[in-house]
């Protein structure tokens, strides 16, 4: 499924947006995020099953960078800016490798 396909624009995208807002309205916010993660995995899996692993690695690395960055900002550590730059560089390199 491509972003420009009718299936994505007319079925998948509206279903995910509606599902996300309904879940966030009636359940805690963590469930909405999990729904978006599962919808992203489904989208990638519908295109190619091997891309699910690519997305999971990206999510895990960004989670680690985000948690480290959150702690650095809370402690007002000067290491926050280099970690932020490293996170952006890692994402661009990862995207460049798979593109």
40 shares its domain with 62: no
Number of domains in the chain: 2
Cβ contacts of 23-28, under 8 Å, gap ≥ 24: none
Q: Which domain holds residue 2?
A: 1-47
58 shares its domain with 90: yes
43 shares its domain with 53: no
19 shares its domain with 33: yes
27 shares its domain with 56: no
pLDDT of 2:
78
3-state secondary structure of 64: helix
Residue-wise pLDDT tens digits, 9-51 = 999 999 999 999 999 999 998 999 999 999 999 998 988 898 8
- 44 near 57, Cβ under 8 Å? no
pTM across the whole model: 0.74
Please give the mean pLDDT across all residues of the chain: 91
């Amino acid at each position: 499924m491509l972003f420009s396909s009718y299936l994505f624009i007319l079925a998948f995208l509206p279903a995910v947006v509606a599902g996300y807002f309904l879940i966030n309205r009636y359940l805690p916010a963590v469930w909405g995020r999990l729904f978006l993660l599962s919808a992203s995995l489904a989208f990638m899996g519908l295109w190619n099953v091997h891309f699910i692993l690519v997305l999971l690695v990206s999510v895990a690395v960004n989670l680690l960078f985000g948690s480290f960055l959150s702690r650095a900002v809370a402690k007002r550590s000067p290491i926050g800016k280099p970690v932020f730059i490293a996170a952006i560089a890692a994402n661009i390199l990862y995207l460049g490798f798979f593109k």
